[in-house]
A and B are shown apart, each in its own frame.
Chain A
Amino acid sequence: MAGPSFIDRARSAADDDDDFPIGDFPGGGRQTIIPQDLAEETPFQQLIRHWMNERHAPDILPGQEMLLGRLLDHIRKQSSDVELLRADPDSSEEEHFRIMLVQTEVERVKFVIRSYIRTRLHKIEKYAKYISANPEIHEKLSKAELDHARRYARLVDYHFNQSVLQSLPEQQRSSEENVPFMPPMTAQPDKLRPVFAHALQDCPPMRLPDGTMSEMQKGQIVLVPFYVVEQLLLRGEVELV
């Protein structure tokens, strides 16, 4: 069942990522949890991993603000370098070609960042009410995202009130009710949803839904409910594919 991950493929592909050197980690708290053999990932490869995880996970994952900040700084630096080189009349034909490559790459990195943020936004809006009601999720969001979630939850509530609830009889106006045999009115992430997980290293045992224990070897791919691999995912031991 082993297969090369997207990251591996990206790595074995032609080396076009040398615009993103690694050495400049500011030594953030998250650094310590990244296993040894992952530490060589470039920031952009990390972002791709987090982006794919976010897109596949039913629940919202911790935001990667440090990483984004680093990439954005880098993009800014690259862009200003490019401007300088372009303005320089002495740069050669070959340099102009390189500049074009760098610019294209910058656009592509921006695309991934945009898609990553939009994916999170989509989930934040979908579960806005659930998020604002459960403080333990708050730490996964940035302040701006959390504010947006709260505003959005209020907005939807207000809209429902104005359009429907306020016209109903007094007893029917609540927007939160627990009726037996009916799903709750607040949408929640479905952690039972199956996901494909790819082990980036040998993983500690995990408990499957039927109670048996199972261990993943490095490189294995399994299809399991999301909650089974949730912890492994947060520790960076698996990625979703």
Chain B
Amino acid sequence: MNNASQYGDLATQLLTESRRSTATNTLLKYNDVLVRAIIREQRDLEARIEAALARSAENPADAPEPGKDPYMSTILLYQTAIFRNKRCLLAYHHHRIEFLKDLYWSVGGALPLLLALPPGGTHANAGAQAGGAGAAGAAPQDVRSKLSPHEVDFLRSYAASLLTLRTEAFSSDAGGAVGLTEDIDLLAPISHPPKDLQVHVRVVRDCGVVHTELGAIDFKRGHRFLVRRSDIEHLIVQGYLEEL
């Protein structure tokens, strides 16, 4: 540990990263190095507290009067640093999972798509980029490479939990099985209420044959269609189609 720096400096760096991520709306790479460094600092602090406690126990005579142990202030200082570091660590991780959840919802819950997405930017142009890059564009800069393994696990479990919620939602005592899933697509966007039934779309990426109200449509790149919004809304969200 660099002696010139103070306890808590590293944690401040970590928080600055979170702030930067919010300000630019980009997902930064999981800072494993910094997290580890702070955890080392925590161990170091804990060792110092124990040493101080041991010294205090060895030399009870140092206290000028009861309750005025000279080591107490040292211990308090270390303790404060420990609490602060711990909160910063948790805040950093919390901020990241909130960001990931937002991403998850913004791509309509398509987890494999999310992991392959280039980080930052909206899903619409993300889809366009992916389409432009073609099959060969196995970009090393996808979201997955920015995550820690635990975060990938978290997203998987989160998706699983939501799936359970969607299958059993509102079927408990609402008068018979209501089966929310078939009627309401929870993952559809909620930023703008639908104004028209039909929507003009341009196909950005091939997505094969999709069954719609008008029958099966083969969505090939570059084609344009007028289709019922609710049939293909998820494809717009996932960046296969583009609204015109």
Interface residues of A (CB under 8 A from B): 26, 65-66, 68-69, 72-73, 75-76, 100, 103-104, 107-108, 110-115, 117-118, 121, 125, 142-145, 147-148, 151-152, 155-156, 158-160, 162-164, 167-169, 171-172, 175, 177, 179, 182, 185
Is B184 within 8 A of A110, CB to CB?
Answer: yes
Q: A72-B178, A107-B194, A111-B190 are in contact. Are A155 and B46 (CB under 8 A)?
A: no
Given contacts A66-B174, A143-B168, A159-B93, contact A108 B194 (CB under 8 A): yes
- Tell me if B169 counts as interface (CB < 8 A to partner A): yes
Q: Which of B3-32 contact A (CB under 8 A)?
A: none
CB distance from B47 to the nearest CB of A (A): 8
Closest B residue to A79 by beta carbon equals B183
Given contacts A69-B170, A111-B193, 12 further A-B contacts (CB under 8 A): A68-B180, A76-B183, A107-B194, A111-B190, A117-B184, A142-B170, A144-B164, A145-B165, A148-B162, A152-B161, A159-B93, A172-B86
Given contacts A114-B185, A147-B164, A172-B86, contact A156 B97 (CB under 8 A): yes
A26 & B175 in contact (Cβ 8 Å cutoff): yes
Contacts of B113 in A (CB 8 A): none
**Known: A118-B186, A151-B161. Contact between A163 and B172, CB under 8 A?**
no
Q: What are 29 A-B pairs with beta-carbon distances under 8 A?
A: A65-B170, A68-B174, A69-B175, A69-B178, A72-B180, A72-B184, A75-B183, A76-B183, A108-B193, A108-B194, A114-B190, A117-B180, A118-B186, A121-B165, A121-B186, A125-B101, A144-B164, A145-B169, A147-B165, A148-B162, A148-B164, A155-B154, A159-B97, A164-B86, A164-B93, A169-B42, A177-B83, A179-B83, A185-B90
In the complex, A156→B98 CA distance in Å? Answer: 11
Residues of B within 8 A of A151 (CB): 161, 164
B87 at the A interface (CB under 8 A): yes
Partner of B194, one of A111, A148, A160: A111
Minimum Cβ distance to chain A for residue B233 (Å): 10
Given the known inter-chain contacts A111-B190, A147-B168, A148-B165, please indicate yes or no for A160 contacting B90, CB distance below 8 A: yes
Which of A72, A107, A117 lies in contact with B197, CB distance below 8 A?
A: A107
Describe B's contact surface by its main secondary structure.
Answer: helix
CA distance A113 to B186 in the complex (A): 9
Q: Does B157 contact A (CB under 8 A)?
A: yes
Smallest CB–CB gap between B238 and chain A, Å? 17
Residue B196, interface by CB 8 Å: yes
A144 engages B168 (CB within 8 Å): yes
- Complex Cα distance, B109 from A182, in Å, reads 36
A148: which B residues are within 8 A, CB to CB? 161-162, 164-165
Chain B 49-88 interface 0/1 with A at a Cβ cutoff of 8 Å (1 = within): 0000000000000000000000000000000001100110
A-side contacts of B172, CB under 8 Å: 65, 142-144
